[in-house]
Amino acid sequence: MSDQGTLNILADEILAEVDSLSDSDPIHQCGKAALSILKTRPREASQLAKDHIQNQPYREVRGCWLRLYEEASIYQAADLLRDAGDRQSTAGDWMSNLVRVLDLGLIVSGATVRGELYEAILANLEPFLGETDLGGELPSSLQTAHPPPLQSNNAVPSMRHPSLEAFQIHLDTQTTPLLLTDSISDWPALQTWPNPCYLLRKTLAGRRHVPVEIGATYTHADWRQAIMPFHQFLHDHLLPSAPSEIGYLGQHNLFRQIPSLSLDIRTPDYCYASPPETLPRNVSRAPPVDEPQKNIWLGPAGTRTPLHTDPYHNIFCQVMGHKYVRLYPPGATESLYPRGVDENGVDESNTSRVELRFDRDGKGNLAVEEEERFPLFVAQEGYREVIVGPGECLYIPAGWWHYVEALSVSYSVSFWWN
């Protein structure tokens, strides 16, 4: 069968899948007017949903508008497939337009109802890729430099591939940061993810769209977010030795977008240990999670996560490159100058006002911007620090403050659990 015939069949299968809505679907709360244009004018339905989503803080958006955006993206995808199928050839980059619509649908709506359908449509596009799409002159590996060893009297203690029982004993007796070495050596990601061509194959020749943080850190005024094709992120921010701007794919569940990436990793057994039920006073109890929450962190040297604290325990796994991490115990909170509620009513008390930067002169010192404003911080002791390298994991207890900076192009996976 021709490519055109295959695309038309795929469009028909999509429309059959979404032909009816359950009575309990929250999309009905958008009203009859919105639903009346969903099938015949999905672009207008998508714009209507987008207007409602963008006109208020995301956490306050009603679920019906997210569902409308999710559903409208599916109908737009079917229209694009049929347009490509009705042409004499599939010339032109019809696939990029289609992937953009679906990825925005996934990222913005969360695809709470049609997630499996999104995944199936995107998987069906892989046979249409040509060999020229998949890398060409790219290097076989992203370039990373090995930093000098960290000279420190406050190094995070380490254990080589401890058993789950040994790790549980550490939780029961200390609940402090711990470097776990040689614990993820069976991950295929250690060999595959550094290869740009592999990343292109996994992202439909770089067409998949990802949310990227542009700027030094999210506490800076010039920080912004952009959604861009992965090939743009790769060429602008990962391949150059000195990119013009820092671009960070940070705290993003790329596994949700590209489920096959999950085959390259394993959830560490340590995530199934039982942490103490009592939390530090600086931490609010987070909703329980049945399975560890996985996020990917990918960016060039110089990506920084400000000194902050999280309500979950974290097994932070380094796949490629090196990251410096400085940690402070919950008892040091007042000396770390927590932020308050910002002008938009967002509580930022889990983030410090102290701006840090790793000193790459090999001495392992931290530079503190405007340190005269933070005398208690400058005098604060009791910290721990470590450089985490490929194949190593760092356990970060809930409530421990931590600053993270990439010393090279870096790929990390965090597992939040409680």
Q: What is the pLDDT of residues 148-157, one digit of tens each?
A: 888 889 999 9
* pLDDT tens-digit readout, 259-306: 999 999 999 999 999 998 888 888 888 888 999 999 999 999 999 999
Q: How many H helices and E strands in the chain?
A: 12, 15
pLDDT at 219: 74
Asked if residue 129 has pLDDT above 50, the reply is yes
Give the C-alpha separation, 293 to 29, whole Å: 30
Six token digits for residue 30: 């958008």
Say yes or no to pLDDT of 365 above 80.
Answer: no
Strand 401-406 with 304-308, pairing: antiparallel
Residues 5-27 have pLDDT tens digits of 888 899 999 999 998 899 999 99
Three-state SS annotation for 206-236: CCCEEEEEECCCCCCCCCEEEEEEHHHHHHH
Burial 303-313 (b: 16+ CB within 10 A, else e): bbbbbbbbbbb
Looking at the predicted structure, is the pLDDT value of residue 339 above 80? yes
Question: Average pLDDT of 154-177?
Answer: 96
Residue 362 has pLDDT above 70, yes or no: no
Q: Which residues contact 89 (CB under 8 A, 6 or more apart)?
A: 3, 4
What pLDDT was estimated at residue 136?
Answer: 64
**Structure token digits, residue 219:** 């506490």
pLDDT tens digits, 302-318: 999 999 999 999 999 99
Q: Is the pLDDT of residue 364 over 60?
A: no
Q: Which domains does the chain have, with CATH numbers?
A: 3-128 (no CATH), 158-417 (2.60.120.650)
Could you report the per-residue pLDDT of 27-67, keeping only the tens digit for each? 999 999 999 999 999 999 999 999 999 998 888 999 999 99
What the block records as the tokens of 155 is 């190094």
- Is residue 217 over pLDDT 80? no
Choose between 61 and 126: higher pLDDT: 61
Task: Supply the pLDDT for residue 91.
Answer: 52
